[in-house]
């Protein structure tokens, strides 16, 4: 799973002409699906339509060629729209290119450092929260084109968007709304008619013909952006300086993290569909190279696209060849048919993105979390969602992860404890199936036993301060079989307990110390200080040793 070898090089050992034919067909179908989405996502991100295709072509090719999945399809996705729009608004296309290149480098480093498995530690509440926030942001960004509002450029901030729409709501264009509603109806109905023909393609064809052959007039890609270029730009790096890098670094990290999360989620989904296993670290490297290629050729950030990957699998794609065919097909379309794209109505692209936003919002999961998750998790969900909508993904993810970490510390603190054994007479049958329970043990005189439960770390280190010894105590046993891990703060607190024992001539005995705490104690010199003979493998040995000491 963590092998640093592209999947393409592995699958080619058993490749045959029959699978090649299936990969060709799957690649062609996915390219048709990706064409309108790439253009729509580019426009929604505040860049030219061609740049969406550059992304799908160059990033898509290298993500398949060097990635760790058999069937991953790479390209622009809705998750990046809000953050790209903000970068372009503030720093221009040069800033976006620099951020994309840095994100690619970060992704490669993450793969080389084998961080692929660490992505799974991003809490579900955070991914759900920012995904819903991004979906709302995408939806809000389409209102102008869907309704044909007569206004200038759409502000990047959500609150400013709403204010601008409210100010210009009286400028709704009737023809635009009619074409937009027809497009939206096609997008909603088509999945019930055909699972093969993409609704977005049908909506574009029908809407374009309506505008061409009826009196209805509405803005098109050509009327807004002018003539579309079919040329491939030469690779280039914009001028940049240290201040630009420093300011864009948080955005680059956010792009890299989002690309990592979405691509690996897509890999997991596709693994289940084809009964395979992806190579997570190689996938990150492939994503990094893909983003660098996209940035060099004027594209925008890219990642694995779950919907396009699923379409690839359903149409027979089983190797990275299908993804490479998808990229080459889009290149051919760019060179031969790009002028036709100028006829596509802007309101139709807005309708496509409204459906994309609805599908990615995962509103059912959002509502389900609100109903069944603990209040603390719901708080993180809403904080991440609100910060994504009102501010941006950088702030949302930073705050969300900090809150999730604090919540985790709190929960670990709640399950960690230091408690003294209760000394009772007779047999305690409440734990008759636990041969290590106090009810079955005979404790020597002048001996105290404390049971330590849960991980011992900085959040609960002060629990050691609850340990006390009486004047007649000769031996103190700390039973640590339920301590899986310990950090240096907890060890420092434990050393204070040892110092108290040493001052009162009390022998400290530790029972059943697990591997990680024992290793830390050895490294810090605590084992040598306490004495190896005072570390016992279980409570029986510790009690027997205490009897001898007493």
Per residue in 376-424, pLDDT tens?
A: 999 999 999 999 898 877 788 889 989 998 998 888 888 888 888 755 4
471 domain-assigned: yes
Do residue 118 and residue 220 come from a single domain? Answer: yes
Give ∠ CA 268-269-274 in degrees, rounded to 5: 95
Instruction: Give the model confidence (pLDDT) of 474-517 as tens digits.
Output: 999 999 999 999 999 999 999 999 999 999 999 999 999 999 99
Say which DSSP state 335 is in. H
Do residue 304 and residue 438 come from a single domain? Answer: no
103 domain-assigned: yes
376 domain-assigned: no
- Nearest one of 30, 53, 85 to 341, comparing CA atoms: 53
| H-type alpha helices, 16-154 | 17-44, 49-54, 60-66, 81-112, 124-147
What's the mean pLDDT when you consider all of the chain? 90
Do residue 276 and residue 344 come from a single domain? Answer: yes
Helices 346-361 and 17-44: crossing angle in degrees, nearest 10, is: 110
Do 326 and 33 touch, CB atoms closer than 8 A? no
Do residue 215 and residue 137 come from a single domain? Answer: yes
Do residue 434 and residue 328 come from a single domain? Answer: no
Collapsing DSSP to helix, strand or coil, 417 comes out as strand
Do residue 341 and residue 440 come from a single domain? Answer: no
Instruction: Work out the average pLDDT over 327-345.
Output: 92
Beta strands of 73-118 (E only): which ranges?
Answer: 74-75
Do residue 305 and residue 433 come from a single domain? Answer: no
Do residue 150 and residue 295 come from a single domain? Answer: yes
Residues of the domain holding 496: 417-549
Collapsing DSSP to helix, strand or coil, 303 comes out as strand
Do residue 452 and residue 339 come from a single domain? Answer: no
Do residue 257 and residue 148 come from a single domain? Answer: yes
Number of domains in the chain: 2
Q: Quote the CA–CA distance of 384 and 362 in Å, as a whole number.
A: 15
Contacts of 268 (CB under 8 A, 6+ apart): 278
Both structure tokens of 380:
């993180």
341 domain-assigned: yes
304 — phi, psi (to 5°)?
-70, 130
CATH of residue 427: 3.30.750.24
Instruction: Give the model confidence (pLDDT) of 426-442 as tens digits.
Output: 444 445 555 545 555 78
226 domain-assigned: yes
92 domain-assigned: yes
Of the three residues 359, 390, 409, the one that is the final residue of a domain is 359
Of the three residues 338, 359, 380, the one that is the final residue of a domain is 359
160 domain-assigned: yes
| Number of helices (H), then strands (E), in the chain | 22, 7
Instruction: Give the model confidence (pLDDT) of 72-82 as tens digits.
Output: 999 999 889 98
535 — phi, psi (to 5°)?
-105, 115
Predicted pLDDT of residue 82: 86
Instruction: Work out the average pLDDT over 41-50.
Output: 93
Q: Quote the CA–CA distance of 271 and 499 in Å, as a whole number.
A: 55
Do 348 and 207 touch, CB atoms closer than 8 A? yes
Of the three residues 312, 339, 359, the one that is the final residue of a domain is 359
384 domain-assigned: no
Do 479 and 542 touch, CB atoms closer than 8 A? yes
Do 493 and 462 touch, CB atoms closer than 8 A? yes
Do residue 424 and residue 277 come from a single domain? Answer: no
Do residue 436 and residue 328 come from a single domain? Answer: no
């Amino acid at each position: 799973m963590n092998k640093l070898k592209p999947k393409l090089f592995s699958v080619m050992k058993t490749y045959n002409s029959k699978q090649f034919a299936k990969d060709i067909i799957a690649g062609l179908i996915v390219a048709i699906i990706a064409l309108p989405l790439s253009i729509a996502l580019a426009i929604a991100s505040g860049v030219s339509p061609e740049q969406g295709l550059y992304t799908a072509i160059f990033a898509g090719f290298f993500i398949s060629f060097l990635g760790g999945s058999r069937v991953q399809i790479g390209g622009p996705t809705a998750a990046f729209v809000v953050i790209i729009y903000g970068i372009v608004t503030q720093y221009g296309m040069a800033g976006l290119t620099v951020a994309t290149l840095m994100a690619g480098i970060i992704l490669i480093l993450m793969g080389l450092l084998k961080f692929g498995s660490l992505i799974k530690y991003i809490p579900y509440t955070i991914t759900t929260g920012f995904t819903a926030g991004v979906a709302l942001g995408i939806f809000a960004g389409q209102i102008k084109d869907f309704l044909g509002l007569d206004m200038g450029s759409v502000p990047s901030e959500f609150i400013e968007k709403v204010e601008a729409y409210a100010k210009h709501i009286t400028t709704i264009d009737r023809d635009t709304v009619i074409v937009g509603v027809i497009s939206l109806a096609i997008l909603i109905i088509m999945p019930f008619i055909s699972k093969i023909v993409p609704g977005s393609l049908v909506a574009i064809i029908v809407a374009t013909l309506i505008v061409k052959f009826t009196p209805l007039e509405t803005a098109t890609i050509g009327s807004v952006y002018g003539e579309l270029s079919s040329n491939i730009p030469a690779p280039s790096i914009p001028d940049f300086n240290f201040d630009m890098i420093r300011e864009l670094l948080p955005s680059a990290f956010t792009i890299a993290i989002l690309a990592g999360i979405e691509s690996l989620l897509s890999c997991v989904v596709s693994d289940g569909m084809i009964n395979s296993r992806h190579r997570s670290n190689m996938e990150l490297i492939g994503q990094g190279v893909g983003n660098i290629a996209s940035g060099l050729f004027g594209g925008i950030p890219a990642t694995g696209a779950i919907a396009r990957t699923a379409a690839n699998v359903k149409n027979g794609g089983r190797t990275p060849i299908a993804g490479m065919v998808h990229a080459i097909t889009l290149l051919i379309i760019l060179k031969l048919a790009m002028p036709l794209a100028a006829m596509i109505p802007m309101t139709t692209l807005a309708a496509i993105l409204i459906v994309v936003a609805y599908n990615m919002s995962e509103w059912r999961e959002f509502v389900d979390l609100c109903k069944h998750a603990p209040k603390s998790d719901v708080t993180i969900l809403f904080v991440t969602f609100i910060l994504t909508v009102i501010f941006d993904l950088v702030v949302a993810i930073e705050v969300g992860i900090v809150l999730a970490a604090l919540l985790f510390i709190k929960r670990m603190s709640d399950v960690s404890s230091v408690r003294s054994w209760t000394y009772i007479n007779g047999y305690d049958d409440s734990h008759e199936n636990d041969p290590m329970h106090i009810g079955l043990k005979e404790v020597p005189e002048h001996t105290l036993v404390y049971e330590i439960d849960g991980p011992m770390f900085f959040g609960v280190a002060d629990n050691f301060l609850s340990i006390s010894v009486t004047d007649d105590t000769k031996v103190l046993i700390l039973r640590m079989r339920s301590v899986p891990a310990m950090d240096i703060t907890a060890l420092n607190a434990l050393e204070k307990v040892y110092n108290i024992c040493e001052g009162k001539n009390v022998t400290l005995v530790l029972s059943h110390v697990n591997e990680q705490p024992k290793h830390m104690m050895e490294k810090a010199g605590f084992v040598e200080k306490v004495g190896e003979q005072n570390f016992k493998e279980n409570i029986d040995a510790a009690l027997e040793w205490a009897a001898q000491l007493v």
